[in-house]
Amino acid sequence: MTQAIASAVVHDLIGIGFGPSNLALAIALEERGQVQGPLDVLFLDKQADYRWHGNTLVSQSELQISFLKDLVTLRNPTSPYSFVNYLKAHGRLVDFINLGTFYPCRMEFNDYLRWVASHFAAQSRYGEEVLAIEPVLHLQQVEALRVISRDSHGQHHVRTTRSVVVSAGGTPRIPTAFKALKDDSRVFHHSQYLASMAKQPRVSSQPMRIAIIGGGQSAAEAFIDLNDSYPSAHVDLILRGSALKPADDSPFVNEVFAPQFTDLVYQQNTAERERLINEYQSTNYSVVDIDLIERIYGIFYRQKVSGVARHVFRSLTSIENAVADGQGIKLALCNTASGELSEQHYDAVILATGYDRQLHRHLLAPLAEYLGDFEVDRDYRIVTDARCKASIYMQGFCQASHGLSDTLLSVLPIRAEEISASLYTHDKQHKQNSVAVERLLATAI
């Protein structure tokens, strides 16, 4: 392995990932720093440049929450980083008002995020994947953290920090039946939709047969895009449920995404937290916007009218097996209602199967003995034992303790404020340690 590049700088905070969560935190730290003094902050992201779900930004997809739930407005409506100020800076404020909607397309929201991220170029490094976070010990105490990353050229980097915030996002969930096909370019997760579809070979004179696995918003958006952008494609929408179910975004239910509801969830015992989260699953998981459901139903209805069955809706269907053969990807399907078995061949299979959120355990494995079972305080700081003086925060991995909004955009500004306040408190205490510890940190690389 090439010798790692080690930095002598001791950062106050290194952020793992630079998606919306850490971008909101960067703003909150900048604005707090104008009053309390700046911190030395650096954000690392494995993407080559700033993109928010870049491979899923099909032309028809819209944001599912109000633009007022941007990176700052709930915390500071006068911030120059608001979505409204972005529109003004790009000469589209009046045009957006004329749209008469609270829901911008995701393409525009991605552009808003890129615009905000451009203001933090000096504090961010792209193309660096964080591999591990290790302890820096002094007198058997964890006084700092060593962040090890690898850039796009394979070069390793080692940096030292007093605190980290892990906001690395979810990892694509691959069903067991497809794990053996992980290196087959014809089978891919929805997170890679645009890039993977662009690479699919066209079968000569034959329409592509494509399977979409899943019954949530991602599956529905992929179906609509394939219907519109690939007019010769034949698509099977395969889901275990009996129907596409609408997301519940009614006003009273939407209050579960209010910042105050985070307090309510956190104050409950474990059993009650689980009950609350399960009660409101229909707001976010395996559900689809009603407008999209109606459009998809219309597509299938018009097929009945025309008598031309281009697409197939396969509900109550499980995938028993998936193999690659000379005809493409062969799926063994089971109708869970009748028990009937069948086989279908496809040129491509899209896995709209969601995400797992366990990456934090992998990154923090070298610190496991200090972290217990990853219990998190109200300020999103992991509860460590007395030997660990460094602060470790998490964003997007705290649904079990903080509620459904933890993986969504709804509470970003408020959460960023809570973490920034906690960070300043703990950083001040940390810097009051002895000169010997400061010398240790300076040589910890």
Render pLDDT for 70-94 as a digit per residue (tens, 0 to 9): 999 999 999 999 999 999 999 999 9
- In the prediction, which pLDDT does 205 show? 66
| Residue ranges, the chain, pLDDT below 50 | 1, 434
- In the prediction, which pLDDT does 51 show? 86
- In the prediction, which pLDDT does 284 show? 83
Residue with tokens 């003995």: 369
DSSP 78-147: T-TTSHHHHHHHTT-HHHHHHHT-S--BHHHHHHHHHHHHHTTGGGEEESEEEEEEEEEEETTEEEEEEE
- In the prediction, which pLDDT does 433 show? 61
- In the prediction, which pLDDT does 125 show? 97
CATH of the structural domain 172-247+284-351, one choice from 3.40.50.170, 3.50.50.60, 1.10.580.10, 3.90.190.20: 3.50.50.60
- In the prediction, which pLDDT does 434 show? 45
Rounded distance between C-alpha atoms, residue 22 and residue 77, angstroms: 19
* Closest to 105 (Cα-Cα) out of 78, 74, 83: 83
Taking a C-beta distance cutoff of 8 angstroms, is the pair 220, 293 a contact? yes
* Closest to 43 (Cα-Cα) out of 13, 69, 65, 70: 13
- In the prediction, which pLDDT does 441 show? 59
Q: Do domains 5-170+357-442 and 172-247+284-351 have the same CATH topology?
A: yes
Residue with tokens 């509801």: 261
User: Would you state the structure tokens that stand for residue 61, as one six-digit string?
Assistant: 């997809």
Q: For 5-170+357-442, which CATH class? A: alpha beta
| Pairing status of strand 234-238 against strand 328-335 | unpaired
Q: What share of the chain is helix, strand, coil (3-state, %, to 5)?
A: 40, 25, 35
pLDDT tens-digit profile of 432-442?
A: 664 555 666 56
- In the prediction, which pLDDT does 151 show? 95
Domain residue spans of the chain: 5-170+357-442, 172-247+284-351
Taking a C-beta distance cutoff of 8 angstroms, is the pair 400, 379 a contact? no
DSSP state of 387: T
- In the prediction, which pLDDT does 282 show? 83
